[in-house]
Structure 1
Amino acid sequence: MTAARDPVDDATLALLLEVAGTPKPGNVDRHRDLDDLRFDSFLGGAVGARAGLELAADDDVPLGEAFERAVAGMADRAGTNTQFGCLLLLVPLLRATVTEAASSSGRLDAAAVDRVTRDATVDDAVAFYRAFEHVDVAVADPPPDAADLDVRRGSDAAPALRERGLTLRDVLAISADPDDADRVPDRNAREWVEGFPRTFRAAEWIRTDTGPLTDRAARTFLGLLAAEPDTLVAAAHGPEAAREASTRAAALLDGAAAGSEGVDAFDADAVHGADLDAAEGLAAAFVDEGINPGTTADLTCAALYVAIRHGAEVAP
């Protein structure tokens, strides 16, 4: 029955479940607003993004066009940037879902998503840049040799993209592998160029967990944050602050080894045993300190979508 459900419905549900999960230290959830972001804004963003998600499920529509439309709809309904990173991950996942439905396997997996991102074009990259004109997105400065590719240039970067022949995957590869070893890579970009390993690993954490999906999402959020420093935290506060936030999250996992890093560093039992009561204290501390692990929320949303497609249910 799950496989027959509309993937756009599942993607919308993933957006709603992600923001409803609590506690997600430093992020908006159903118990917490931030000074400049509210829970209901995320609900509006999920609804507004739907038209773009429907385009992502249409194999005849360019991927970048679907993404830009989703971002524009989100921004129009939410009035701000709520789920830009979530949509960057959901759009190729949705496209892979519909392309695989017509194949012999019929199953959404990492190989299917990798094929979708490898097929991205220069036009998709141009549309991705246009999406930044709809919302303010917190991003780090580009490398010195890529100043003309700063995403904050929006459509003005189109000539450089076309001259260099850069596809959307090419552009994201620049952020995924920064030259500075101390710089925290863009985790969403790494998903695009590495075949979504964090997404699929975290989806298994969710699928094999028990209890409400919102609680599973909250535990998975902690696991993802513990596994790797958050890109948004690093952009706002620096790499060391991002790594410290991950260490603090790891302390809430069941039997997690100190200093472990990477999504494979924690097994499902460690994540399933995450202490959500203790996470309430960390949530309050992160809000006070302005620590907002937004990229971790994006990955959690993507993992929820995959888990739902693989059989996770909201029903008890």
Structure 2
Amino acid sequence: MTRRERRDTGATGPVDDATLALLLEVSGTPKPGNVDRRRDLDDLRFESFLGGAVGARPGLELAAGETVAVGNAFERAVEGMAARAGTNTQFGCLLLLTPLVRATADPDRDCSPAGVDAVCRAATVDDAVAFYRAFETVDVAVDDPPAGADDLDVRRGSDAEPALRERGATLRDVLALSADPDDPERVPDRNAAEWVEGFPRTFRATEWILADEGPLADRAARAFLGLLAAEPDTLVASTRGAETAREASARARAVLEPDEEDATGAVGSVDAVDRDTVHGADLDAAESLAEAFVAEGINPGTTADLTCAALFVALRRGAEVAP
């Protein structure tokens, strides 16, 4: 039975693929600085991510329905993740997967840039309130809010609700503040930028994965390198500073383009990363970078979130885990 035939019989749906994407993402190795099937971090273990994927499923099921708002579905997914994993394992992944699942499950939309953009643009103030409440469930590393937006600091959780309602700020509005910070020295929030820009990184990495060969987990590891080489990682910038984030991207690029003497810094954009270069990534060479990043406490978690989202779209478009 082919994958398409399984879809037609209802054996595979967006929630299954979202859950599988969460599992495949953490199984890919090496993903320098991140938990994978070969390495744990001091405060995060591989099996915690497996538990988080299972725990998030009820929220993803709500996202696939039509009666629960996107923000509430996300909040429920985060609650389930935290309850099963005991910590924050996949907050960013779920922020990306929730609108993707909703777009896929909506008969009037599809899993395309236009389809998911329509979901994000339809988000409401209530969705923003639910998003803020999710920050009361787990610890999430975030930067200080932009100037003039202290009342919208996500770390305020539900205490920010009056300000959200007074401003009429939707979830997309709130994320736009982080997607395009006023300070040019700050690294933009890549997950927030996906919500605002129509998921360009997700769909570009999907192309890499679908055109690649071999096990999906290996394709995901190569896509991760491509994404990290393209742009500095938000989580690294939040926890270690913007300069360290930029240096981490330069080091990933050096692995991706070992013969390019002038390959310093990030590539600049995901569209500028050559697909064949991603496919030719030397995962053995990336192992050394992975060990170095772990030792130095450099954790490109936002890049992992984007990789997870790309895996979901690739699965929806026919990628197989079976040989």
TM-score normalised to structure 2 length: 0.95
Equivalent position SS for 1:200:
helix
Equivalent position SS for 1:130:
helix
Task: Check the 8 A contact 2:52/2:84 in 1, yes or no.
Answer: yes
Give 1:258 shift. Answer: 1.5
State the AA in 2 paired with 1:31: R
Distance 1:200 1:206 in 2: 10
Q: Any gaps of 5 or more consecutive residues in structure 2? A: none
Q: Which one of 73, 84, 91 corresponds to residue 84 of structure 1?
A: 91
Give the aligned partner of residue 20 of structure 2.
13
Q: Any gaps of 5 or more consecutive residues in structure 1? A: none
Give 1:237 shift. Answer: 1.3
State the AA in 2 paired with 1:293: P
Distance 2:317 2:251 in 1: 31
State the AA in 1 paired with 2:129: V
Distance 1:186 1:215 in 2: 26
Q: Which one of 294, 298, 303 corresponds to residue 305 of structure 2?
A: 298
Give the aligned partner of residue 236 of structure 1.
239
Written as runs of structure 1 = structure 2, the 5 A alignment for 1:268-307 is: 268-307=275-314
- Answering whether residue 134 of structure 2 is matched by residue 127 of structure 1, we say no
State the AA in 1 paired with 2:74: F
State the AA in 1 paired with 2:166: E
Give the aligned partner of residue 22 of structure 1.
29
Give the aligned partner of residue 117 of structure 2.
114
Written as runs of structure 1 = structure 2, the 5 A alignment for 1:243-258 is: 243-254=246-257, 258=263
Instruction: Please give the root-mean-square deviation of Cα atoms over the aligned residues, in Å.
Output: 1.1
Q: Which one of 60, 68, 72 corresponds to residue 67 of structure 2?
A: 60
Task: Check the 8 A contact 2:63/2:102 in 1, yes or no.
Answer: yes
Distance 1:245 1:54 in 2: 36
Q: Deviations over 1:90-109 (max 9, x none)?
A: 0000000011xx24xx7421
Q: Deviations over 1:69-106 (max 9, x none)?
A: 0000000000000000000000000000011xx24xx7
Q: Deviations over 1:151-190 (max 9, x none)?
A: 0110000000000000000000000010001100000000
Task: Check the 8 A contact 2:14/2:101 in 1, yes or no.
Answer: yes
Poorly superposed stretches of 4+, deviation over 6 Å: none
Distance 2:147 2:119 in 1: 30
Give the aligned partner of residue 202 of structure 1.
205
State the AA in 2 paired with 1:299: L
Give 1:252 shift. Answer: 1.4
> How many residue pairs were aligned?
312
Equivalent position SS for 1:139:
coil
Equivalent position SS for 2:321:
coil
Q: Which one of 168, 171, 188 corresponds to residue 168 of structure 1?
A: 171
Percent of residue pairs bearing the same amino acid type: 76
State the AA in 2 paired with 1:304: L
Task: Check the 8 A contact 2:103/2:110 in 1, yes or no.
Answer: no
Between 136-145 and 86-95, report the one with greater CA deviation.
Answer: 136-145
Q: Which one of 301, 316, 320 corresponds to residue 309 of structure 1?
A: 316
